[in-house]
Amino acid sequence: MIDFIPEKEYQSLHAGYGPASPASAVSRHPAGNNGQVINVGREHVCVLSFEDGLSTSHDSFLRLGELAAGSGIAVPESGQGVVCLRAAQDGLLLVNEQAMGLIHGIDAVICQSLPNNEVVLKSQVVARLQRVSPRIGEEKLQQVEDICHQHRPIIDVVPFKQFRVGIVTVGRAAPGNWKDDMITPLLSEKFKEFGSSILRLEYVAADIDSALAAIHKSIRYGADMIALVHSLAPEPYTTLLNALQTQSGTQGLRVYPGEFFSCSWLGPIPVLRFEATCEGKLVESLIDQVIPRFLAGIEITRDDVEALRGDGFNPPGRS
């Protein structure tokens, strides 16, 4: 088996290939009992290994990166004992945390990644794979490959869908109240940031009929997502939810209630609700987490909402 090893990495190896610093690029040098250096270039060392298997193959280690990568990851890059995974597109990073735990449990490969559900940019390094030691036993390496096969993709970047969004802000119809509304501008900018468009933005009075009429008007104009900003009391808000449920048709209604955020569905149209009285920093962190997931097509579950609501939601810098 022939390995092509980056010269800098070869200098750091303490076993297997013997001493470094060959006298010339064409000279042969003994490498202990495991292999022999047959050529040295400016950047790589070519080694003939006398052992079969995957334990010293950089190609095999690079293949792990290919197996771990999803369709949103560019061709993995290998250098100095590390395989880098870069985003092939702007989008939301998805990390299979269960599979990552299984890989780390084998103690052969360390996989470091950015946090799950993080917004990433094209060409950004999102994960690195590194061997625990320069020589990995073939059995352990095969176990890692099996995990990558079974749980693929381990690392992926999902592109953002482009929605036509209708924003309905309830209870701030008076012109003087518009200046106090911080949430609607935040939502508008966040949707635009990820490539969606604001189809309609309407301020209506604080009553159920006005809110429902504005929602349906946005849908008739072609909106495929509604953002509802309101400060309704619990009773009228429940009435609004019941009205949405009655009008949802055969698609069914899924409601994930939270103190500051909830999601319901009017047929196939998601209706994202934000509490207008929510503290500025809190709602900003909430929007930063919620909007990218929906635009990437990642549905927020009840557990997610529980983590985002009330005392369970702790934005950065908030104890």
- Are 279 and 174 part of one and the same domain? yes
CATH number of the domain enclosing 96: 3.90.1170.30
- Are 168 and 291 part of one and the same domain? yes
- Range 268-292 burial, b when 16+ CB lie within 10 A, else e: ebbbbbbbbebeeebbebbbebbbb
The model's pTM: 0.71
The Cα 200–Cα 280 span in angstroms is: 23
Task: Report if residue 317 sits inside a domain.
Answer: no
- Are 246 and 150 part of one and the same domain? no
- Are 176 and 136 part of one and the same domain? no
Residue 200 phi/psi, 5-degree rounding, is -145, 145
Q: How much helix, strand and coil, in percent to the nearest 5, is found in the chain?
A: 35, 30, 35
Domain count across the chain: 3
* Least confident interval from 12-16, 85-89, 111-115, 181-185: 12-16
Task: Report if residue 319 sits inside a domain.
Answer: no
Q: CB–CB of 57/12 below 8 Å?
A: no
Task: Report if residue 43 sits inside a domain.
Answer: yes
Residue 133 neighbours by CB under 8 Å, 6+ apart: none
- Are 187 and 251 part of one and the same domain? yes
Nearest partner of 241 among 273, 210, 216, judged by Cα:
273
Check pLDDT > 60 for residue 262.
yes
Cross-strand bridge partners of residue 130: 82, 110
- Are 129 and 217 part of one and the same domain? no
Q: Tens digit of pLDDT for each residue in 165-224?
A: 999 998 754 445 556 678 889 999 999 999 999 999 998 888 888 889 999 999 999 999
- Are 191 and 279 part of one and the same domain? yes
Between 306 and 72, residue with greater pLDDT: 72
Choose one of 134, 157, 180: the last residue of a domain. 157
- Are 264 and 150 part of one and the same domain? no
- Are 80 and 133 part of one and the same domain? yes
Task: Report if residue 318 sits inside a domain.
Answer: no
Per the structure, the complete domain to which residue 17 belongs is given by: 2-49
- Are 22 and 146 part of one and the same domain? no
- Are 100 and 232 part of one and the same domain? no
Please state the rounded mean pLDDT for residues 301-315: 56
Q: CB–CB of 232/275 below 8 Å?
A: no
Q: What value, to the nearest 5°, has the Cα angle with vertex 278 and ends 233 and 207?
A: 30
Nearest partner of 224 among 164, 176, 285, judged by Cα:
164
Q: In the prediction, which pLDDT does 92 show?
A: 96
- Are 213 and 288 part of one and the same domain? yes
Choose one of 112, 133, 157: the last residue of a domain. 157
The Cα 181–Cα 193 span in angstroms is: 19
CATH number of the domain enclosing 179: 3.40.980.10
Task: Report if residue 296 sits inside a domain.
Answer: yes
